[in-house]
């Protein structure tokens, strides 16, 4: 999702418009202290090491209030940034710059936080076959934005929602009457462009899922030893995804078991905003 698709353009407009509306309400009275029509400029500086993401959301916040606003970027999404580095310069009407500032920074700080933690996990598994994969544990209303940030940092997007992938979990298996029944039902229902993945909790369930034709299997909270054995049993028949109990300290060991994917909810759920500052300069 690191390309600018039409879906992403629509999502940027929606999320930024909503964020501005909740902040401005009936009007920004403080910004009205500044003479209408006056110009201003500013620059964004980072105070910490990070990976940049969210520049399009940042730009949109200013341009929705001032269509002539100009943002000149010195770095691109996905690139590393260092303390004291000037990331961009903004030229806009003074009232628009002051009103949009917090919304613009909120997006840039949050999405850069998502990209930064993702890049740390990607670096930790470098040289293995494992991809770092996100989940649906995203902040409500910001799923596409956060999945974009994951992708520009080298991570891989899992399904976007419930509509573009089938993930058969424990409760689904119980309700369906077992692994075989759940797999058969999913295979009969899912369109050809929707992948089917099934969660297993032990090696016996893995063997049953493979016997049912599973092409993607989630290994839920398995030990390193069991993951290595799962890779041996699988013998390349299905994509194996490790999930549960993943930390930055442990992710390398998980990758070295030979699994294909490691899904991590913390990429989008436990995000620390990056420390950025927008400094105003006289026009």
Catalytic pick among 220, 226, 229, 256: 220
Other Cβ atoms less than 10 A from the Cβ of 248: the count is 13
* CB environment 27-57: b (16+ within 10 A), e (fewer): ebeebeeeeeeeebbbbbbbeeebbbbbbbb
Give CA angle at 258 (252, 262), nearest 5°.
55
Question: Cα–Cα distance between 65 and 100 in angstroms, integer?
Answer: 7
Q: What are 122's strand-pairing partners? A: none
Question: Cα–Cα distance between 22 and 279 in angstroms, integer?
Answer: 24
Catalytic pick among 102, 129, 237, 279: 102
Q: Let me know if 137 is a catalytic residue.
A: yes
Catalytic pick among 11, 199, 205, 260: 199
Catalytic pick among 47, 129, 169, 232: 169
Q: Let me know if 102 is a catalytic residue.
A: yes
Catalytic pick among 43, 63, 137, 252: 137
**Any idea which residue has 């040289």 for tokens?**
127
Q: Are 134 and 117 in contact (CB under 8 A)?
A: no
Q: Let me know if 14 is a catalytic residue.
A: no
Q: Please identify every residue annotated as catalytic.
A: 102, 137, 169, 199, 220
């Amino acid at each position: 999702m690191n390309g600018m698709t039409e879906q992403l353009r629509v999502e940027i407009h929606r999320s930024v418009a909503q964020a501005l509306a909740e902040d401005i309400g009936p009007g920004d009275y403080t910004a009205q202290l500044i003479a209408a029509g006056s110009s201003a400029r500013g620059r964004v500086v980072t105070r910490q090491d990070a990976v940049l993401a969210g520049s399009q959301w940042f730009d949109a916040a200013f341009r929705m209030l001032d269509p002539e606003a100009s943002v000149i970027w010195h770095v691109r999404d996905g690139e590393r940034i260092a303390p004291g580095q000037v990331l961009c310069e903004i030229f806009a009407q003074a009232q628009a710059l002051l009103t949009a500032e917090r919304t613009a920074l909120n997006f840039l700080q949050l999405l850069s936080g998502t990209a930064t933690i993702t890049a740390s996990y990607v670096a930790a598994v470098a040289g293995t076959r494992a991809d770092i994969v996100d989940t649906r544990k995203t902040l409500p209303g910001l799923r596409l934005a956060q999945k974009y940030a994951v992708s520009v940092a080298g991570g891989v997007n899992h399904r976007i929602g419930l509509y573009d992938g089938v993930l058969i979990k424990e409760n689904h298996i119980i309700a369906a009457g077992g692994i075989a029944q759940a797999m058969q039902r999913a295979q009969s229902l899912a369109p050809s462009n929707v992948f089917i993945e099934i969660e297993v909790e032990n090696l016996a369930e893995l063997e049953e899922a493979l016997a049912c034709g599973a092409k993607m299997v989630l290994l839920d909270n398995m030990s390193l030893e069991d993951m290595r054995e799962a890779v041996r049993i699988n013998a390349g028949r299905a994509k194996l995804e490790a999930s549960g109990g993943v930390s930055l300290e442990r992710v390398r060991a998980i990758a070295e078991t030979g699994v294909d994917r490691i899904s991590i909810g913390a990429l989008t759920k436990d995000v620390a905003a990056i420390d950025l500052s927008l400094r105003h300069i006289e026009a």
